Amino acid sequence: MVCIKIIIMLTNKALCCSRTFLTSNANALSIKNQKSIMKVLVVYDITNDALRNKIADILKDFGLIRIQKSAFIGYLTSEERKDLEKILSKKNLQGNDRIDIFPICDRDLKFHSRIRHDGIFYGENWD
């Protein structure tokens, strides 16, 4: 198993997009897919318990990790994001139910802060 860290570069600056891949064949990664990877934050407000749980399962299936009860974060290619949008749009959302998908730059995540009972924590740590 080979671990590959891809950082897309544009004029010698990181372009808000990096991802670590585990693969047995490093040559199997296409340049096209490397350029379309983005970190996303998905948050939702769903009133129906069963539907809310189904949405959470779908997000987990896409490899996103839960950071709050109704918030997930992770990496998706643009194709995966489109697939996720199609799947979620077919769910039976009611009234004020909503799902938001935000692209987030890794550079901006360095300014993330989490406030807890035991202090303020900075950076990307989703534990």
pLDDT tens for the chain, residues 1 to 127: 333 444 333 333 334 444 443 333 343 344 344 557 899 999 999 999 999 999 999 999 999 999 999 999 999 999 999 999 999 999 999 999 999 999 998 888 888 888 989 999 888 665 5
Q: Which residues, at least 6 apart from 64, have a Cβ–Cβ distance to it below 8 Å?
A: 40, 42, 72, 73, 74, 76
**Angle, helices 49-61/78-89, rounded to nearest 10 degrees:** 160
The model's pTM: 0.70
- Nearest-angstrom CA–CA distance, 102 and 38: 10
Neighbouring CB atoms inside 10 A of 44's CB total 20
